[in-house]
Amino acid sequence: MSIAASNTSMRVPAGFRNLLEGLAREVLREQPADVVAFAAQYFQKLLESREAGGIDPVAWGAMLED
């Protein structure tokens, strides 16, 4: 089975790189046994912080990337 090559150019959304770097940093720091559960908790805390009027890490990361 072959898959046709595509000329589609995919672009990483603004702030996404910074968001993933933050997750990677925390995973390396904490060394969790269950990385998926840790990531779910990490993103849940970020979401709660954003909804409480805190800093939006995606918007902040997008500003850093510009």
24-59 pLDDT, tens digit per residue, is: 999 999 999 999 999 999 999 988 988 888 777 777
**Contact between 28 and 36 (Cβ < 8 Å):** no
CA distance 66 to 50: 21
Tens-place pLDDT, residues 6-18: 677 888 888 888 8
CA distance 61 to 40: 19
Average pLDDT for the chain: 84
Annotated domain spans of the chain: 16-64
CA distance 47 to 54: 9
